[in-house]
Amino acid sequence: ERGAGPKPALVAAREAGASSSPSGAAKAPESRAPAKSPAPTAQTGVSSLQPETLEGGLTGPPDVLEGLSLGSSEEENPSGLFAAIGVPHGLTNLEMATPALPGRTGPLIVDGEGAAPNTFSTLKAACATAASGDVIELRYNGRREESPIELPGLKITIRAGDGYQPLVAFQPKPTDIDPLRYPRSMFTLSGSRLTMINVAVELSVPRDLPADSWSLFEIGQAETVRLERCWLTIFNASSGRAAYHSDVAFLRLKANPAVATVLGDQARLARHVTVALVDCVARGEATLFQSEMMQSAEVSWKNGLLATTEWFLVANGGEESPQPSEAIQVDLEHLTAAVGRGLCQLNQGEFAPYQLPVEIRCADSILVGSGAAALVEQNGVGDVAGAQQRVSWDGYRNFYEGFTVFWAISPLNPSQRSEQMPFAAWESHWTPDREILPLRNLVGWKQLPAADKPVSAHTAADYTLDHSDQENPPLRWPTDGSAAGLAPERLPPAPPPVLSESPPGAVKPN
């Protein structure tokens, strides 16, 4: 057994008490019959409206102007700038664009009827009325279909009412071929902070529509997304259980064309993106986080399950060299991740020769691969040694299952030799100070999902550890007294079964 060595920042911060607790949902009057099996409420702790301190010690953006950090006078902002990003002329704070309505108190209620004051029949209608700082409470059980929702310049919380188990469903039809009429992102954020608590969200991607970068959440610059005790499901399976459309993501980081056009080089100075998941499940034939622009981002996940045929992270390169302070930071703790194509894919190319540094910190997690997929993959690089320097890894007591290649680097020039690192070379490269006590192919499972079961139907029960074996390494090695990988008792109950017809290739979850 190796010496422990210095601990990664994620672990040290956790043990020092820097991690925040999931914020709780306020109780709602029991005006409607709750579900027979109420969903447990999140633990009390940090305010869900201002998720500044993230799991693993990450610190979110300071409490400054929502959205882009723009100047406060017309002299500091080019003509037409505010209009380009959706802020009325003369306003400098995005929150000012949606003032609270006088005399309105309490949360906005979505109950499917909308008959009483402050109640709405759909989530989209409630979001269209919401002011920054509002809470939207879903007081219904089961599945309700919605159409795509835009959240411009809002700090907003969407949560389940006490005792309710809502499922927000997006199911585009074959006639929704026009992306202007039916956007390809189900939640589009523009200078917004979104917190979602105890809500299940699903997207059924139709085969008959073009593969137009479908996603659950589209994030521009300077957005914050925090998901607590949520289930995210994407149905995008082919008949062979692989992904039918290749460019589908749970969260997509994408440039706002209007902002990029007006700001130009200044757009890169905007605040970075923050995404935090706590006690969540994401499953489906889609990449969890896909970055289509060279934008700094912090992505953290504390406790949960990712089951995907694709990657955890896909990051594309760009035409301009990044600033020294720009990076993509990933913090994972107690995550069980079944990643069919690997943990992350970093892409460069002839017209995108630059790539942001990627810093990954992972502790007490179980990463499950398949076949020849590499844990970390870099494509189209100009220089192998330089590409290696752009990846930083801090691992602490992780378990790797099914991976034979841990790092694959493919040069742009086909005459250059590709690099593939097996486990031993990976350990040697990072040394025991950066990859602390890793174990490979030693997890004792009570059961794993059947090979013909699509990942969009996987649940935490499909990744149960064998507790009958007291020598099972994941039960003995973690640093905080709990088993490695996901903690099932902290996860929300599975969403109710799909009641309506699913598109071809989609399978109803258990």
pLDDT, tens digit only, all 510 positions of the chain: 333 344 444 445 444 443 443 344 333 333 334 444 444 443 433 333 333 443 433 334 333 333 333 333 333 333 333 334 443 333 333 333 444 555 567 899 999 888 899 999 999 999 999 999 999 999 999 999 999 999 999 999 999 999 999 999 998 887 777 777 788 889 999 889 999 999 999 999 888 877 668 999 999 877 899 999 999 999 998 887 888 888 899 999 987 655 444 444 555 555 689 999 999 999 999 999 999 888 899 999 999 999 999 999 999 999 999 999 999 999 999 999 999 999 999 999 999 999 999 999 999 999 999 878 999 999 999 989 899 999 999 999 999 999 999 999 999 998 888 999 999 999 999 999 999 999 999 999 998 999 899 999 999 999 999 999 989 999 987 677 789 999 999 999 998 665 433 443 444 444
Give me the pLDDT at residue 104, please: 67
Neighbouring CB atoms inside 10 A of 223's CB total 26
Strand-pairing partners, residue 16, are none
Cα-based distances in Å from 380 to 377, 404, 413: 10, 22, 8
Cα-based distances in Å from 82 to 58, 70, 263, 446, 490: 30, 9, 10, 56, 43
How far is Cα 47 from Cα 201, in angstroms, rounded to an integer? 22
Alpha helices, H only, 411-467 = 423-434
Helix, strand or coil for residue 465? strand
Paired tokens of 477: 């090695």
Give me the pLDDT at residue 105, please: 76
How far is Cα 204 from Cα 284, in angstroms, rounded to an integer? 10
Give me the pLDDT at residue 180, please: 75
- The alpha carbon of 257 is separated from its chain's Cα centroid by a whole number of angstroms, namely 22
Asked if 489 contacts 499 with a C-beta cutoff of 8 angstroms, the reply is no
How far is Cα 252 from Cα 293, in angstroms, rounded to an integer? 10
Residue 446, exposed/middle/buried by CB under 10 A (0-12, 13-18, 19+)? middle
| pTM of the predicted structure, to 2 decimals | 0.79
Asked if 249 contacts 299 with a C-beta cutoff of 8 angstroms, the reply is no
Which residue, 142, 119, 168, is CA-closest to 35?
142
- Which residue type occupies 312? F
Cα-based distances in Å from 458 to 34, 284, 300, 304, 497: 26, 8, 22, 13, 13
Cα-based distances in Å from 398 to 208, 392, 401: 41, 16, 10
Dihedrals φ, ψ of 195, to 5°?
A: -120, 130
- The alpha carbon of 483 is separated from its chain's Cα centroid by a whole number of angstroms, namely 23
